[in-house]
Chains A and B, each alone.
Chain A
């Protein structure tokens, strides 16, 4: 596959990350997923710096963003993305445990494209992540400046 475009998954909890990857495994989307473990790493990836200085340039097809993360939290990352002309077109999906109205309101106010509460029940979680992966990774047409194939 030469048109593989990365899906960025920002998730500080390695178990949640593993479960999400397990969910996307069936659809063969998992191999496109880049996992970042905190907000700072997400920004490093997006701006091609630090550990990602050498990566091929271009935006991911979608960012799945957890709210609560070490260093830089989800809302701050979201704010940075939506305030940057180059990054703004990237669809950002909040993927979080929080059902708090305040989080919902703030996320949408900052320009989140979707807000998904992680279901506790595993099958529901699997289904939700799978559907998200399929929709944003396959069905949705990403903005034109998304990056080309990654190595």
Chain B
């Protein structure tokens, strides 16, 4: 097993963004404890609370204004009633006066035509009184006056009826003592007093209502003013919030863009870097190896055994470094390269990889166990690299075995994933190092045991992560190892 993990294989493009600090103003030390709960609220909660308060204020104002208006309407109704009452009382008074003076004239002259007014009053009085009762049904004081008035009127009309009857029977002489002053002088006076009281009471009530109406009108105007102010505040804060939100969004968009540009620049730089590594670092290595070979060719005969071994070491090291550079470049490319998403036939891919590895397979006794593999969704070139790395690892670490056994298979999961494994009977590894397996430059074996650069499995993990899958491994020293990776199934299989 060649590689082991320390660093998390985070793709280089991943930018860790700091959580945005809340845009609310930071609580100042002056802000008392009372406000602490408020500053702990989220901006949404605060906005909601503010709107709630303003809304409640507007509701209260509307309710009070409604009540005030109702009072005004009621007062105006009562005023109408009062005016009617006053008019009615006037009419009753005039009618009674007319009846009284009519009956006196009759008493003096005996001319019946003077009784017309009296008869009309007698006829109409019950209706007048009913009307009067209807108009005063809301005031106890006035009601009691109506009762008194009724009694007085009944008495007056009764007296007058008595006098008229006497005149009819006994002629002028029978009523002489009444003829000048009238039959119901006292009652008429009482009635007029009562009417004045009536009128005064009504006028007082009207004045009180006028004062009340004026008060509630002022009140309503003030409240409506306050309501308008609150609505203005509401509008202003809505405007502020929307403005704030839009500004914030613009700021975030600008930031994202600038970060994107930075990222792009960083990526470009990285590309330039690996390009230069790829081009410039190889040349001196080729020279080291090349001149070592030329030296060995030109002077190999004259060199001692030791000298030849030194030359060989120079050459081997140069080759190893070349391999390292190649692997690193592949690793870097796997992180940056655009990814295809197509249906990949893993069975076919394994066959291709085995064909590529045919030179390594020569002279080996290998028993292959191949289970059918599902089609997955992914980048064929990258997945080929995964299988290539895992299979060549299996071959490498079983090189010391008499008979190599390699098993490749897959388990389909319900979650739309396939878990693929590559199992070998090689030297295995200690599970306590399992976390280091997939890291860059991490190796669990010495180079003289098994060659390698420590990048193969890191590459596997990077590619699988970019596909949205996972990698893991199981093994035990000298009992082989199993490497697993999961991939999304091809769409048709989900």
Contact = CB atoms under 8 A, between A and B. Distances in A.
Interface string A95-132: 01111111000000000000000111111011000000
Given A13-B283, A16-B287, A122-B289, A98 B278 contact: yes
A100 B270 CA distance: 13
A15 B290 contact: yes
B286 A118 contact: yes
Interface of A: 13, 15-16, 19, 22, 67-68, 96-102, 118-123, 125-126
B290, B291, B292, B333 interface centre (most CB from chain A within 10 Å): B290
Closest 4 CB pairs of A and B: A120-B322, A97-B282, A122-B293, A122-B289
Interface of B: 274-275, 278-280, 282-283, 285-287, 289-294, 315, 318-319, 321-323, 325-326, 329, 333, 337
Nearest to A96: B279
A16 B286 contact: yes
Nearest to A16: B283
Nearest to B322: A120
B279 A120 contact: no
B279 A98 contact: yes
B290 to A, nearest CB: 4
A120 B278 contact: no
A101 to B, nearest CB: 8
Contacts of B287: 15-16, 19
A128 B319 CA distance: 16
A148 to B, nearest CB: 34
Contacts of B289: 120-122, 125
A35 to B, nearest CB: 16
A126 B333 CA distance: 28
Contact of A19 (B286, B315, B323): B286
Nearest to A22: B294
A120 B275 contact: no
Contacts of B279: 67-68, 96-98, 100
A120 B329 contact: no
25 contacts: A13-B283, A15-B283, A15-B291, A16-B286, A19-B286, A19-B287, A19-B291, A19-B294, A68-B279, A97-B282, A97-B286, A98-B279, A99-B326, A100-B274, A100-B278, A101-B337, A118-B286, A120-B322, A122-B286, A122-B290, A122-B293, A122-B315, A125-B289, A125-B290, A126-B293
